[in-house]
Structure 1
Amino acid sequence: MKPQVDVGIAFYGKPYQTIVTIKSLIQHSGQYIDKIYISRERRQPHNDYIGIFKVVDYFRNDPNVRLVIHYPYHHLGLGVIDLQRAKNDTSWRQSIMYQYALETTKKNYLCIMHNDMLFHDDMIGIMLQQMTTGPENLIGIGSIGQCWSCPAGSDWANKCNPHVYEDFVPTYQEAMEITEAYATPRQQIQKNVISGGRVHIMPECRLNEYCAMINVKSYRRETIPDGDIGCYGGNWGGVDNATVWSHDVYQKGYRFKHLRLEDYTRHAPFDSTSSGTQANDNRDLYLRSEANAREYIENNYGPIKFSGYVQFANSVDSIKRNAWLTIIHTYGYLKGLVKK
């Protein structure tokens, strides 16, 4: 039997794009995949709360897909900074993106990814082969860096890229000078990170979450609650998710292996902006992207036929969500009365 990995997906809307992600992933890498963990964010874009139930229903009779659905207790978004609470509060910590799967999987390796991917080759098989034959300090494989926004990247000073990021080791002064010299999209945040002592790897450098494989044993050893490094899916005052985690594990002697994402998959292929994030705030773009993904499914995998489960599950979920909101609002009202 070939070695197996689990997959962790953060679900923030985009049910049809999620279906494409899973279908194309299984098509090319299914032989290596056991469970697929999906954490549905407590809040969903454009009130698309029914989406997760479409995904569950679509794969209900598919023997090749084993879904584990997780409903986080909190909605934390991108601004996770409370390290002490994350260490001590399990439900809060496991509401951080990808953390539930990273704590729960029984596999040696977990592949985390976005839910708007279209695979055209076996990326997991390649990552697994390189991970199992790599050095002991190899903690993750995937695309490295966010060079488009890094002052050392090819669009700016052109001193660094994913293949040489280990060799480009600036001093604090050099890092600050190059950051001040180029008006990158997140210049001020980068300066703040460098001022805080995180110089190399550079503030934008990370193991990218679009699709990456992580050594679970090493991750748990160094990351809270067992270690002292903030979770992969948190911001922790960095420029983006996983940038602080990537820096801190790198400083502890761990290393990453770069794979060119585009050789195996496309990110946001149904989004006309190719960003995957603008649709979160643009309802028309969101709906167009979803319509494009649904058309792709029906053209390549056949007609979509949802059962009555979708509406039923959504109705139950709606009642629970509304009840929870009522409790929160009532608590806030009573707290205000007490203060008076």
Structure 2
Amino acid sequence: MSKKIDVIISVCGKPWQTTLALLSLDRACGGRIDRIYFIEENTRSMGYDIQSGQYDYVLERLKHKIVYFQPKQWNYCFGVEYDKLGDTDYRHSVRYQYGWEMSDKDHVLIIHNDAVFHGDVVGALLENIGDAVAIGHVGQCWYCPAAFTGRCGSERHLDYRPGFSELLDLYKKTVAPEGSLMRAYHLPRMHAMFQDQPWPLPECRVNEWCALIDLKTARKMTAPHGRVTPFGAIVGVGKQILDVGCQWFREMHLRGKVAKHFDIYEYMHHDVPPTGQPTLLDKARYRDMEEQAFHRLKDEYGL
């Protein structure tokens, strides 16, 4: 068996989905995992108490692997403040960052707390990463006009490199298909970073719900050791944001370190977006997903 990896998971609510995510991952490929960095978002630091306090079961069941951490503040969906990245407490409030800095492994697996695993995804990703800096499902194509118009896709993100005028036209003229959304990066104007360097496109990233990172390469290039924006940072670009991982992906690619697309869904399940934070706000869907996870835990894991 190859060297073990560490897992990093940032947790905000969803206690039973979190438990299912970690127990299913451990069942599928636990022999490849050393530590699980369990980062519980500090929602109370902003006056919110959305945690259910029901992580005790999974924390106890996987206590031989789990390293628990709670940042001193909660960044929610706010843009990163670059001038604060030298402050350890602030930097560790950026999603996944604590585990990123604490792990001593060559590779880390970053996962969402609403994923479910049914195969050895770690083994598959390790086998296929090659010289890529990251591997997983590439691109938020469900938001991207380049994908809507057939110009680009997950397996072609290295090939489609429009100039700024073409990128601007894509955002101005493309109408998202029915049932899809498109962030309006052209309103009120496209950020200067895209004028200077249109590629990678705004929605390009390796999706965080299951991504293997070559930490040996990436750590020295990423804050606090290097100049690349932290993987878990959200970045403000005018009235819009670049979602988690997009700016890291962008800056790594501009430095010649690329991500590789891989069909993770042979090994795991994650709902089609929008999920994640929007599900926290939809009380009915939140309750339904928690109930489904709870019943699976009872039926399959002896909860």
| TM-score normalised by L of structure 2 | 0.89
1:11 partner letter: V
From 264, 269, 274, the equivalent of 1:266 is: 269
Match of 1:332 in 2: none
Q: Return the alpha-carbon distance in structure 2 between the equivalents of residues 257 and 300 of structure 1.
A: 33
Q: Is the deviation greater in 106-115 or in 40-49? A: 40-49
From 199, 221, 243, the equivalent of 1:240 is: 243
Match of 1:293 in 2: 293
Match of 2:193 in 1: 196
Change in 2 beyond 3 A, CA 1:174/1:6: same
Question: 1:285: how far off?
Answer: 2.3
Question: 1:280: how far off?
Answer: 0.7
From 156, 159, 176, the equivalent of 1:167 is: 159
CA contact (8 A) 2:37 2:67 kept: yes
1:251 correspondence with 2:248: no
Change in 2 beyond 3 A, CA 1:190/1:100: farther
Count of aligned pairs: 289
Q: Cα deviation per residue 1:124-173 (whole Å; 9 max; x = unaligned)?
A: 10111223xx12xx2101000000100001xx211101111111111111
Question: 1:190: how far off?
Answer: 5.9
Q: Return the alpha-carbon distance in structure 1 between the equivalents of residues 105 and 55 of structure 2.
A: 25
Change in 2 beyond 3 A, CA 1:193/1:249: farther
Partner SS, residue 6 of structure 2: strand
Q: Return the alpha-carbon distance in structure 2 between the equivalents of residues 119 and 214 of structure 1.
A: 18
Match of 1:97 in 2: 95
Unpaired runs of 5+ in structure 1?
305-340
Question: 1:187: how far off?
Answer: 3.2
CA contact (8 A) 1:111 1:124 kept: yes
5 Å matches for 1:111-130? Answer: 111-130=109-128
Match of 2:275 in 1: 275
Q: Return the alpha-carbon distance in structure 1 between the equivalents of residues 33 and 294 of structure 2.
A: 24
From 50, 53, 57, the equivalent of 2:53 is: 50
CA contact (8 A) 1:190 1:204 kept: no
Match of 1:84 in 2: 83
CA contact (8 A) 2:15 2:52 kept: no
Moved over 4 A (4+): 190-194
CA contact (8 A) 2:168 2:190 kept: no
1:248 partner letter: E
CA contact (8 A) 1:10 1:41 kept: yes
CA contact (8 A) 2:171 2:185 kept: no
Q: Return the alpha-carbon distance in structure 1 between the equivalents of residues 81 and 182 of structure 2.
A: 22
1:189 partner letter: Y
Indicate the structure with greater helix content. 1
Larger Rg, first or second structure (1 or 2): 1
Q: Return the alpha-carbon distance in structure 1 between the equivalents of residues 77 and 217 of structure 2.
A: 24
Q: Cα deviation per residue 1:236-287 (whole Å; 9 max; x = unaligned)?
A: 2242111111011100000111112322111149xxx872433311233222
Match of 1:146 in 2: 140
Q: Return the alpha-carbon distance in structure 1 between the equivalents of residues 258 and 270 of structure 2.
A: 24
1:158 correspondence with 2:188: no
Match of 2:106 in 1: 108
1:259 partner letter: F
| TM-score normalised by L of structure 1 | 0.80
CA contact (8 A) 2:6 2:105 kept: yes
Q: Return the alpha-carbon distance in structure 1 between the equivalents of residues 190 and 210 of structure 2.
A: 25
Partner SS, residue 68 of structure 2: strand
Match of 2:3 in 1: 3
Q: CA RMSD in A?
A: 2.0
Partner SS, residue 101 of structure 1: helix
5 Å matches for 1:167-186? Answer: 167-184=159-176, 185-186=181-182
Unpaired runs of 5+ in structure 2?
none
**Matched-pair identity in %:** 28
Q: Cα deviation per residue 1:96-131 (whole Å; 9 max; x = unaligned)?
A: 000000000010001001011111211110111223
Q: Return the alpha-carbon distance in structure 1 between the equivalents of residues 186 and 74 of structure 2.
A: 26
Q: Is the deviation greater in 205-214 or in 236-245? A: 236-245
Question: 1:58: how far off?
Answer: 4.0
Partner SS, residue 196 of structure 1: helix
